[in-house]
Amino acid sequence: MKNTHCSGMTFFAHRSATARPSGLRILLALLLGACGAAQAQSTVTVYGKLDVGARKAIGSVDKEIATSGDSRLGFRGTEDLGNGLQAFFGFEHRFFPDTGTVDGSQFWKGYAHVGLAGGFGRMGLGRQYVAAFSLAQNLIDPFGGDTVAQVRDAALRLGGIAKVRINDSVRYDYSADGRTVAVSVAESNTNGGPDRPMSVAANLKTGPWLLAAGLEDPAGANDQLWNLGAAYNTGSITFSAGYADGKTDASVAAKGYALGLSMQAGPAGEFKAAYGTLKLGGVKTVNKLGVGYHYALSKRTLVYADAARDGKAAVEKTGYDIGIRHNF
């Protein structure tokens, strides 16, 4: 058995002294030859996540097999151009593993970008994450926006004002000494509004602390959002808190709060809890508590059980999910 690594993928070819060349062996030889040529110039990684389990969502009576954390298949890579300059690229497909279907018409729904990086920072072009999302909004919720227990989308992204990714965008990042700043701006006509969506964000990681702030002006004429967040890691327990303030495109004031807790439970277990609220026009529309236990079977495979209750849900105020997640 011959084992050859190529840019994050592994090909296996069984060799026999008496076997004749076959179409499969010729194809493998071509692939291995191409990998050898490509590896001399760049590094490519194939990665992904599969997440499936039993779920009952808040607001629904349905009990179903579903994904509680977006499953994905992605490719990313870099090439050393010399003199400290590097080219990078990445594209990511999102899908539902329980049915094999795609959400919406975008195949590369996750992101698709290409750019250059060096001492000046990192500049990317394409469909990319909004600066405030990746540097602030996504870092406070201990569930990372996954499972029924997450509070990120309602309490920190304020029920649809904020965007996760934007099309036809330019994004610049610079990191040094635990500090990261980012700016993103995009075309208006492909992002659903009359304005160019713009965002600026920063975070600081120093010792046990994470401090984050973000400002986002989406494509709508009136909508806007800013976030503040902090997290403190004692080594076995992480406490987090976040605040969001903005207005919808209809100029309705929106405010959200989130509190989070992540605590180690043995060498492979983790207990999580989160609380989030949202007020629209001064009226509380979300009042949610989520708890969960996640257990790592290995570095890549995780089983989880979560439950949540939103006291402001119109119907079916409780939900739960029990599932398995594998990262590769």
CA dist 188 and 277 (Å) reads 30
| CA max distance for the chain | 79
Torsion from C-alpha of 276, 279, 285, 286, nearest 10 degrees? 0
CA dist 269 and 271 (Å) reads 7
The two structure tokens encoding residue 13: 């070819």
pTM: predicted TM-score of the whole model, two decimal places: 0.85
C-alpha 42 chain-centroid distance: 25
Apex CA 153: angle with CA 264 and CA 253, to 5°?
Answer: 130
| Among candidate residues 227, 72, 269, the one with its CA nearest the CA of residue 141 | 227
Residues across the chain: 328
The string over 141-158, giving b where at least 16 C-beta atoms fall within 10 Å of a residue's C-beta and e elsewhere, is bbbebbbbbbbbbbbbbb
Do 305 and 324 meet the contact criterion of CB atoms below 8 Å apart?
A: no
Residues in the chain with pLDDT < 70? 1-41, 159
DSSP string, 67-124: -SS-EEEEEEEEEEEETTEEEEEEEEEEEBTTTTB-SSS-TT-SEEEEEEEETTEEEE
pLDDT for 15: 38
Upper half-sphere CA count for residue 43 (Cβ side, 13 Å): 5
CA dist 189 and 277 (Å) reads 32
Q: How do residues 105-116 score in pLDDT, each as one tens digit?
A: 788 999 999 999
pLDDT for 160: 76
Q: How do residues 237-287 score in pLDDT, each as one tens digit?
A: 999 999 999 999 999 999 999 999 999 999 999 999 999 999 999 999 999
CA dist 140 and 212 (Å) reads 9
Upper half-sphere CA count for residue 6 (Cβ side, 13 Å): 17
Upper half-sphere CA count for residue 263 (Cβ side, 13 Å): 8
pLDDT for 103: 78
CATH 1.10.3720.10: does it fit domain 41-327?
no
DSSP 155: I
The two structure tokens encoding residue 235: 């080594």
CB atoms within 10 A of CB 234: 9
C-alpha 39 chain-centroid distance: 28
Apex CA 172: angle with CA 166 and CA 176, to 5°?
Answer: 135
Side chain identity, residue 104? G
pLDDT for 14: 37
pLDDT for 18: 39
The two structure tokens encoding residue 143: 């569930």
